[in-house]
């Protein structure tokens, strides 16, 4: 996870309000009462598994699709029935969508021509946006002469050239290899903060969502399960779905009574949304510590070295596997077969029923 970048004082974006959106395709409810508000200049990542309705939400915000019911407002104006070409939104999709027969500069200037800007103004703005994405030297090339990552930066420059009120990104990094994906992710964030455009970033990749967003909205089956800053989403999941979808969690037998969960013999606060009575606590690997103890009731089964951190897998007497993430200096003192005691840190946990 990254720290939250400092916002410039002059973020110029508009508020976006999606209210109670539904979208029905035949027997499929792609959206089922989605309500999502973005503050001016905010970057919200919509995160969820394939088919949960992310693209449908983005297309409805763009005006490329109509909701069955519900409302779309930008900057306080109701745009629900306004056509896409009057909505003033910049878009970047997963597939490279540059025009192959135009140069990079012409690609970036394309939307300005549609808006009736003269050639000189088009060139100036396009050159500025290419500079913003670090490609000012590549204006005269054709798309086919660029790498995938460069093409997506051109697509971003093109989306920003019209100085949109809202920027929409639908899995913009999914076609790129891992290293370029991280570089471009950070670059998108830098540029977005610089221009201050309110941005909806759709992804199925949780690490990407947590790294890039002011707030992450987790979607499941057409609904928003939780909308929260990345660190809060991670440390205080509101639902079972969020707890299991975001990050890696152990499921440890637990009992909840009066807001307190008993896990591995320790009492910790139970998060809102927890079940009561017996259930399973969702406990992060980094919240488990492993202590050598001949009577500890658990056994180390594997130690996996990951660099500064290591992952230690243990088996409880009841057959539960528990994964702990420890500093390698601690983990490397442990051996498979060794008897240990497991402890959870005293931070709040979500306890789910099944």
Where along the sequence are the contacts to Mg ion (CB under 5 A)? 55
Residue 64, C-beta contacts closer than 8 angstroms, at least 6 positions apart: 84
Q: Residue 58 or residue 236: which is nearer to ligand ADP going by CB?
A: 58
Q: Residue 64 or residue 82: which is nearer to ligand ADP going by CB?
A: 64
CB of 56 to Mg ion, least distance (A): 8
CB of 21 to ligand ADP, least distance (A): 11
Measured distance CA(241)–CA(52) in Å, rounded: 12
CB of 52 to ligand ADP, least distance (A): 4
CB of 204 to ligand ADP, least distance (A): 7
The entry of Mg ion, ligand ADP, none that residue 52 binds, CB within 5 to 8 Å by partner kind: ligand ADP
Q: Taking the CB of residue 53, how many other CB atoms lie within 10 A of it?
A: 26
Q: Residue 55 or residue 197: which is nearer to Mg ion going by CB?
A: 55
CB of 53 to Mg ion, least distance (A): 9
Q: Residue 55 or residue 198: which is nearer to ligand ADP going by CB?
A: 55
The entry of ligand ADP, Mg ion, none that residue 329 binds, CB within 5 to 8 Å by partner kind: none
Place of tokens 């798309």: 143
Place of tokens 């029905």: 24
Backbone angles phi, psi at 278, to 5 degrees: -75, 150
Q: Residue 55 or residue 249: which is nearer to Mg ion going by CB?
A: 55
Interacting residues with ligand ADP (CB under 6 A): 25, 28, 30, 48, 50-56
Residue 171, C-beta contacts closer than 8 angstroms, at least 6 positions apart: 93, 94, 202, 203, 204
Q: Residue 136 or residue 239: which is nearer to ligand ADP going by CB?
A: 239
The two structure tokens encoding residue 141: 């090339």
The entry of ligand ADP, Mg ion, none that residue 53 binds, CB within 5 to 8 Å by partner kind: ligand ADP
E-only strand ranges, the chain:
16-25, 28-38, 43-47, 69-74, 77-78, 89-92, 166-170, 198-203, 215-220, 223-228, 250-257, 260-263, 266-269, 277-283, 288-292, 298-305, 309-316, 321-327, 339-344, 350-352
CB of 284 to ligand ADP, least distance (A): 26
The entry of Mg ion, ligand ADP, none that residue 274 binds, CB within 5 to 8 Å by partner kind: none
Measured distance CA(246)–CA(272) in Å, rounded: 17
Please count the CA atoms within 13 angstroms of the CA of 229 that sit on its side-chain side.
Answer: 8
The entry of ligand ADP, Mg ion, none that residue 103 binds, CB within 5 to 8 Å by partner kind: none
The entry of Mg ion, ligand ADP, none that residue 220 binds, CB within 5 to 8 Å by partner kind: none
- Ranked by CB distance to Mg ion, the top (closest) residue is 55
């Amino acid at each position: 996870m990254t720290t939250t970048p400092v916002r410039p004082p002059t973020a110029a974006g508009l508020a976006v309000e999606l209210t109670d959106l539904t979208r029905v395709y035949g027997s499929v409810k792609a959206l089922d009462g989605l309500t999502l508000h973005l503050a001016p200049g905010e970057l919200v990542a919509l995160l969820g598994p394939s088919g949960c309705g992310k693209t449908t939400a983005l297309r409805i915000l763009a005006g490329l699709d109509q909701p069955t019911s519900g409302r779309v407002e930008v900057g306080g104006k109701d745009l629900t029935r306004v056509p896409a070409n009057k909505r003033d939104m910049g878009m970047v999709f997963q597939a490279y969508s540059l025009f192959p027969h135009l140069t990079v500069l012409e690609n970036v200037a394309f939307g300005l021509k549609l808006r009736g800007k003269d050639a000189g103004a088009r060139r100036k703005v396009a050159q500025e946006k290419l500079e913003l994405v670090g490609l000012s030297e590549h204006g005269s090339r054709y798309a086919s002469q660029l790498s995938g990552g460069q093409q997506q930066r051109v697509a971003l420059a093109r989306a920003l050239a019209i100085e949109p009120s809202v920027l929409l990104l639908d899995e913009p990094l999914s076609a790129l290899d891992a290293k370029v994906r991280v570089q471009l992710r950070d670059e998108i964030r830098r540029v977005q903060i610089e221009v201050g455009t309110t941005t909806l970033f759709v992804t199925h990749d949780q690490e990407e969502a947590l790294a890039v967003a002011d707030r992450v909205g987790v979607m499941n089956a057409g609904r928003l399960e939780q909308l929260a800053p990345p660190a809060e989403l991670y440390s205080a999941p509101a639902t079972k779905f969020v707890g299991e979808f975001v990050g890696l969690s152990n499921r440890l037998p637990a009992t909840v009574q009066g807001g307190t969960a008993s896990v591995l013999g320790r009492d910790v606060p139970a998060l809102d949304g927890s079940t009561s009575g017996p259930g399973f606590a969702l406990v992060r690997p980094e919240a488990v510590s492993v202590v050598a103890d001949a009577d500890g009731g658990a056994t180390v089964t594997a130690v996996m070295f990951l660099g500064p951190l290591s992952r230690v897998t243990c088996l409880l007497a009841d057959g539960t596997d528990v994964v702990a993430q420890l500093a390698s200096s601690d983990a490397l003192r442990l051996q498979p077969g060794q008897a240990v005691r497991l402890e959870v840190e005293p931070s709040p946990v979500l306890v789910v029923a099944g």
